[in-house]
Amino acid sequence: MPFLVLWHFLLICNLEQDSMPFRKRSPDVVVNCAALSVPRACEADPAAAMSINVPSTLLEWLSTFKEANTLLIHLSTDQVYEGVKSFYKEEDETIPVNVYGNSKVAAEQFISMNWSNFAILRSSIIFGPQTISPVPKSLPIQWIDSVLSRGDKAEFFHDEFRCPVYVKDVVTIIQALTSRWISDGERMQLLLNVGGPDRVSRAQMAETVAHIRGYSTSLITLVSASSVDRGVRSPADISMDITRVVQTLRISPTPFKEGVRLTLEAEGSA
């Protein structure tokens, strides 16, 4: 679903007074997940990346409501950072190294300049169980599990670092922002790093899967990310400092190992 619209109590409150309730009141919350999210696809078609990833049409539509009060929760990415140090903070300069990152920075700027009630979530790799209606894209932990379960050797980068975030923590963050807006009614302008508490390389992600599943770690061959041409530049270390989201919303993000255990448990045996 490209985005989620929550009309909180709208029908009940407005139907009695107005035969066209949807014209009167703006949605309380919109969670914008729509994107051209595959970096290689963005690199191949920068114009499409820009027009899909910058939510200008969405904000145009939200502006048509009389009381344009909607809280926009927008999914951004850790790829806004250059990737040359560890544990980026929100106030660090954004220097994307690819078209995907550039389009997401443009989106952040567009929202901050053109909307007054928003939370921008700079998400790292999201992992977790498959959804009830399976998503078409391959999921990161399930993909590693399927490769290693065949008993084949596979190559993993030892020098590309991320702070993968468990999907239910992303949901908790979105719920917390929503309840805050619904209960306080105070507009927000929030920029939050949304990562897990652990900085891990791709190889460490694979090792974690191997440990939990009981596969031999000798299947994991360490290679440098610089040895592979993926048709798009990929930032090396975009691990994030998540102090702000933890303190602002008082959440405790799931440790990587625990999240992987929960993910694999939900998948059953491969």
Ligand X SMILES: *[C@@H]1O[C@H](CO)[C@@H](O)[C@H](O)[C@H]1NC(C)=O
Ligand Y SMILES: NC(=O)c1ccc[n+]([C@@H]2O[C@H](COP(=O)([O-])OP(=O)(O)OC[C@H]3O[C@@H](n4cnc5c(N)ncnc54)[C@H](OP(=O)(O)O)[C@@H]3O)[C@@H](O)[C@H]2O)c1
Tell me which residues touch ligand X (CB under 6 A): 56, 109-110, 113-114
Which CB atom, from 33 or from 188, has the smaller least distance to ligand Y?
Answer: 33
Q: Rule CB under 6 A: choose which of 58, 75, 80, 242 binds ligand Y.
A: 75
Beta strand pairing call for 118-123 and 71-77: parallel
User: Residue 119's closest CA among 179, 206, 79, 161?
Assistant: 179
Contacts of 155 (CB under 8 A, 6+ apart): 221, 222, 223, 228
Q: Which does 125 bind (CB under 5 to 8 A by kind): ligand X, ligand Y, none?
A: ligand Y
Which CB atom, from 114 or from 189, has the smaller least distance to ligand X?
Answer: 114
Q: Rule CB under 6 A: choose which of 30, 31, 52, 148 binds ligand Y.
A: 52
Size of the site for ligand Y (CB under 6 A): 14
Residue with tokens 């109590």: 9
Q: 120 near 192, Cβ under 8 Å?
A: yes
Give min distance, CB of 203 to ligand Y, in A. Answer: 18
Here the tokens at position 70 are 């909607």
Q: Which does 137 bind (CB under 5 to 8 A by kind): ligand X, ligand Y, none?
A: ligand Y
**Could you give the CA distance from residue 201 to residue 224 in angstroms, rounded to a whole number?**
11
Helices 202-213 and 140-149: crossing angle in degrees, nearest 10, is 60
Q: Which of residues 128-157 bind ligand Y (CB under 6 A)?
A: 135, 137
Give min distance, CB of 114 to ligand X, in A. Answer: 4
| DSSP bridge pairs for 25 | 67
Interaction site with ligand Y (CB under 6 A): 2, 33-37, 52, 75, 77, 123, 125-126, 135, 137
